[in-house]
Chains A and B, each alone.
Chain A
Amino acid sequence: MAIKFDSPEAHLKDPVAVAIRLRAPEREGIDERFGPSDVSPGLDIARNPRVARILRNRKFQFFLILPNQIIFWTVIFVGLMGTAIPGLNFGAAITWYVWFCLVFVMMVVVGRAWCAMCPFGGFAEWIQRRTFFQRTQKTLGLGRKFPEPLARIGFVLPVASFLLLTWIEEYYNIAGPGNPASTSFMVIGIVATALVFFLVFERRTFCRYICPLTSVIGTIGSMGSVAGFRTRDRDVCVSCKTKDCMRGGTEGYGCSWYTWPASADSNLYCGLCTECYKSCPEDNIGLFLQKPLTSVVAPMRRRADVAWAVALLWGLVLYQQLNALSFYSPIDSWLNSHLRFPHYPNPVAYLGMIVLLSVVTAGAAKGIAVLSARRDIGFDHPGNFMDKGSRFRAYFLPIMYGLIPVVGADYFARQLPKFFKSAPRVIPAVQHMFGFAGTNSSLYNSRILSDPRIINVQVGVIIVGTLAALWATLRITNRELVGVSRNAFLVRATTLGLVAVCGAVAALLYVAMQAAN
Chain B
Amino acid sequence: MTQTISREVGVVSDRPTVQILTDRCAGCQECIIRCPTSALTMDPKRWVALADDDLCVGCRQCERTCPFSAIVVDGPMLVEPRSDPEPVHPIRLLGDISEIRSGYIGWSEVLAEAERCLQCPDPTCVRGCPAHNDIPGFIASLRDQDLKGAHEILRRTTLLPDICSRVCNQSAQCEGACSWSLAGVAPVAIGRLERFIADNMDVAPPQIPSKANELSVAIIGSGPAGAAAAWDLFEAGAAVTVYEKDATPGGLCAWGIPDFTLSDALAQRPWDQLRRAGLDLRCGTEIRPEEVGELLVTHDAVIVAIGAGVPLRLPVPGADLDGVIEATSFLQEAKAALENGCDPQEFCATHGLESFAMGGLAPNVLVLGAGNTAMDVARTARRLGMRATCVDWLDERFALARPDELEEAREEGVEVRFSRTLTALRGTGRVAHAELACTTQRRADRRPKVLAGKFEELDVDLVVMAMGYRNDPAFAEVLPGTPLKKEAVGVPDRRWTASGILANRASAFANHNAVGKLALGREVGLWGAALAVSERLWVIGDALTGPATVVEAMAQGRRAAAAVLDAQPQGPSRVDRVQSNGPGRVLVCYASIGGKTARAAQAIADGYSAKGVVTRVLPIVKVGAAELAMADTVVVGSWVEGFVISSVGPAKAMKSWLDGLPRLGGKTVAVFCTFGVSPKGTLRAMRRALEKKGAVVVAQAAFGPEELEAKAGIFGPRAFGEGLARLATIKEAVKVSV
Contacts and interface: CB of A to CB of B under 8 A. Distances in A.
Contact of B584 (A2, A21, A250): A2
Given A242-B494, A242-B497, A258-B26, A5 B616 contact: yes
B288 interface: no
Given A3-B566, A24-B33, A242-B495, A19 B136 contact: yes
A301 B46 contact: yes
B563 interface: yes
Contacts of A28: 42, 44
Given A29-B45, A387-B46, A18 B495 contact: no
A10 interface: yes
A165 B566 CA distance: 68
Given A3-B566, A258-B68, A243 B30 contact: yes
A53 B593 CA distance: 5
Contacts of A70: none
Contacts of B44: 26, 28-30, 32-33
Interface stretch (B121-129, B204-212, B677-685, B723-731): B121-129
A263 interface: yes
A154 interface: yes
A112 B376 CA distance: 63
A478 B35 CA distance: 40
Interface stretch (A145-153, A171-179, A219-227): A145-153
Contacts of B69: 145, 202
A137 interface: yes
Contacts of A21: 121, 136
Most buried by A among B23, B38, B69, B584: B23
Interface stretch (B366-374, B474-482, B619-627, B689-697): B619-627
Contacts of B584: 2
Contacts of A130: none
Interface string A207-248: 000000000000000000000000000000010011110111
B593 A246 contact: no
B46 A151 contact: no
Contact of A386 (B23, B121, B137): B23
B136 A152 contact: no
B585 interface: yes
Interface in A1-42: 2-5, 10-12, 14-16, 18-26, 28-30, 32-34
Interface in B31-74: 32-35, 38, 41-42, 44-47, 67-70, 72
A26 B19 contact: no
A74 interface: no
Contacts of B132: 14-16, 19
A315 interface: no
B511 to A, nearest CB: 23
Given A19-B134, A26-B42, A57-B593, A251 B653 contact: yes
B157 A243 contact: no
Interface string B6-44: 000000000000010111101111101111001001101
B94 interface: no
Interface in B143-197: 156-157
A249 B127 contact: no
Interface string B105-143: 000000000000000011100110001111111000000
A135 B491 CA distance: 9
B36 to A, nearest CB: 10
A23 B621 contact: no
Given A22-B33, A49-B595, A281-B622, A15 B156 contact: yes
A250 B35 CA distance: 27
A248 B22 contact: no
Most buried by B among A10, A22, A34, A263: A22
Contacts of A25: 29, 32-33
B137 to A, nearest CB: 6
A56 interface: yes
A474 B121 CA distance: 47
A300 B46 CA distance: 8
Contacts of A15: 126, 131-134, 156-157
A327 B459 CA distance: 95
A202 B596 CA distance: 36
Contacts of B594: 49-50, 52-53, 56
B23 A154 contact: yes
Nearest to B49: A26
B494 A247 contact: yes
A209 B488 CA distance: 34
Interface in A111-166: 135, 137, 145, 148, 151-152, 154
A235 B619 CA distance: 20
A28 B29 CA distance: 13
Most buried by B among A2, A49, A387: A2
A294 interface: no
A23 B563 contact: no
B493 to A, nearest CB: 8
B593 A263 contact: no
A262 B614 CA distance: 33
A254 interface: yes
Contacts of A19: 123, 126, 132, 134-137
Nearest to A24: B33
A3 B616 CA distance: 12
Contacts of B19: 148
A52 B594 CA distance: 5
A12 B21 contact: no
A151 B593 contact: no
A275 interface: no
B530 A12 contact: yes
B337 interface: no
A263 B585 contact: no
A49 B676 CA distance: 13
Contacts of A387: 22, 46
Contacts of A249: 491, 494, 621
Nearest to B613: A2
B319 interface: no
Given A12-B626, A21-B121, A145-B69, A260 B27 contact: yes
A149 B630 CA distance: 50
Contacts of B137: 19
Contact of B21 (A5, A152, A247): A152
Contact of A241 (B498, B565, B566): B498
Nearest to B625: A12
Contact of A246 (B26, B131, B566): B26
Contacts of A30: 44, 47
A16 B527 CA distance: 13
A22 B630 contact: no
Given A20-B123, A254-B67, A12 B156 contact: no
Given A16-B126, A242-B497, A263 B46 contact: no
A242 B156 CA distance: 26
B490 interface: yes
Contact of B35 (A16, A23, A202): A23
A440 interface: no
B24 A258 contact: yes
Nearest to A281: B621
Contacts of B45: 29, 33, 300-301
B602 to A, nearest CB: 12
17 contacts: A5-B616, A12-B530, A15-B131, A16-B132, A18-B134, A19-B123, A19-B134, A23-B35, A25-B29, A29-B47, A53-B594, A56-B594, A151-B23, A246-B26, A263-B27, A283-B598, A305-B23
Given A15-B131, A18-B156, A21-B121, 11 more contacts: A3-B585, A12-B630, A14-B626, A16-B127, A22-B122, A241-B495, A247-B67, A250-B491, A251-B653, A260-B67, A263-B28
Interface of B: 19, 21-24, 26-30, 32-35, 38, 41-42, 44-47, 67-70, 72, 121-123, 126-127, 131-137, 156-157, 490-491, 494-495, 497-498, 530, 559, 562-563, 565-566, 584-585, 593-596, 598, 613-614, 616, 619, 621-622, 626, 629-630, 632, 653
